[in-house]
């Protein structure tokens, strides 16, 4: 009798080790939306977390003067509109009376041609004056619309000339006081440091059922998952696919190198 000894060798699957730098969740370069002179730059805020503060101020002095004048123009135009609306209401009554008088006298056989012509002339004159006032009202309404649009444009321009950060990390200021910027000119590099990310480049076989795989950081099991995967191979690492894991922001600083295993 032959006895066969079956040896069961455990199958160990070794996950590939990756190293990733802890980076801010998002990094953006703020660019100017307008042409203006740089009048203020908060150099002390560079390299720090900005809670709520203006870091760059572009010259908006003429815009503010123009805005104040434009708002006054809106008020004056609205007053003129109100006056003309009252005039139109009054003229409307005059037109109705003149029209009624003309129709009555025009039916009278005893009225002379001169009386009838004068009544018609008075009616047409009142109607023409009323229509002229109505035309002026429409023109004023159009002017008010245009002026309000100008006010909105100026307010938008002024807002864009104050670069305010709220809970963002100011990594770098690109402009200095006295610089002149045009639309599209870089102003500052800002990081969203409210959370962090790890960027990996995975081999095709690592992507299989990646949603169910466990992420280990520095050898310790975590609850993190691979949050985002590019399904097109990377331009630089042509045989790999970019992936990102989102983690809480570090307490001390970014740029720490972390060992990452996905298995």
Domain boundaries, the chain: 17-59+163-262, 61-158
User: pLDDT of 44-81, one tens digit each?
Assistant: 999 888 989 999 999 999 999 999 999 999 999 999 99
Q: Is the pLDDT of residue 2 over 60?
A: no
Please compute the mean of the pLDDT values over residues 10-29 and round it to a whole number: 77
Q: Which single residue is written with the structure tokens 């996950």?
A: 15
Distance CA 175, CA 184 (A): 13
pLDDT in the model for residue 110: 85
User: pLDDT of 117-167, one tens digit each?
Assistant: 888 899 899 999 999 999 999 999 999 999 999 999 999 999 999 999 998
Residue 210 has what DSSP assignment? G
Percent of the chain with pLDDT over 90: 62
Pairing of strands 48-58, 162-173: antiparallel
pLDDT in the model for residue 163: 95
Encode 76-108: b = buried (16+ Cβ within 10 Å), e = exposed. ebbeebeebeebbeebeebbeebbeebeebeee
Please compute the mean of the pLDDT values over residues 252-261 and round it to a whole number: 85
pLDDT in the model for residue 263: 85
- Could you tell me which CATH number the domain at 17-59+163-262 has? 2.40.50.100
Beta-strand (E) ranges in the chain? 17-31, 36-41, 48-58, 162-173, 180-181, 186-202, 215-217, 220-221, 228-229, 241-248, 257-262
Q: Is the pLDDT of residue 226 over 80?
A: yes
Distance CA 91, CA 86 (A): 9
Q: Is the pTM of this model over 0.85?
A: no
């Amino acid at each position: 009798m032959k006895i066969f000894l079956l040896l069961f060798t455990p199958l160990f699957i070794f996950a590939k080790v990756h190293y990733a730098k802890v980076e801010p969740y998002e990094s953006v370069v703020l660019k100017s939306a307008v042409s203006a002179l740089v009048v203020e730059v908060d150099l002390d805020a560079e390299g720090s977390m900005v809670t709520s503060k203006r870091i760059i101020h572009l010259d908006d002095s003429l815009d503010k003067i123009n805005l104040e004048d434009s708002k006054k123009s809106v008020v004056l135009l609205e007053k003129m509109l109100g006056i003309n609306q009252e005039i139109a209401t009054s003229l409307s009554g005059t037109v109705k009376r003149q029209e009624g008088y003309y129709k009555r006298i025009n039916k009278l056989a005893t009225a002379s041609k001169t009386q009838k012509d004068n009544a018609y002339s008075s009616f047409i004159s009142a109607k023409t004056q009323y229509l002229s006032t109505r035309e002026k009202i429409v023109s004023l309404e159009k002017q008010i619309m245009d002026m309000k649009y100008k006010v909105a444009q100026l307010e938008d321009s002024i807002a864009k000339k104050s670069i305010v950060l709220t809970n963002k990390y100011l990594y770098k200021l690109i402009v200095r006081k006295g610089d002149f910027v045009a639309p599209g000119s870089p102003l500052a590099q800002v990081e969203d440091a409210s959370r962090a990310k790890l960027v990996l480049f995975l081999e095709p076989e690592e992507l299989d059922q990646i949603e169910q795989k466990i992420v280990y950081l520095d050898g310790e099991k975590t609850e993190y998952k691979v949050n985002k995967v590019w399904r097109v191979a990377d331009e630089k690492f042509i045989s790999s696919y970019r992936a990102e894991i989102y983690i809480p922001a570090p307490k001390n600083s970014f740029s720490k190198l972390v060992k990452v295993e996905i298995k």
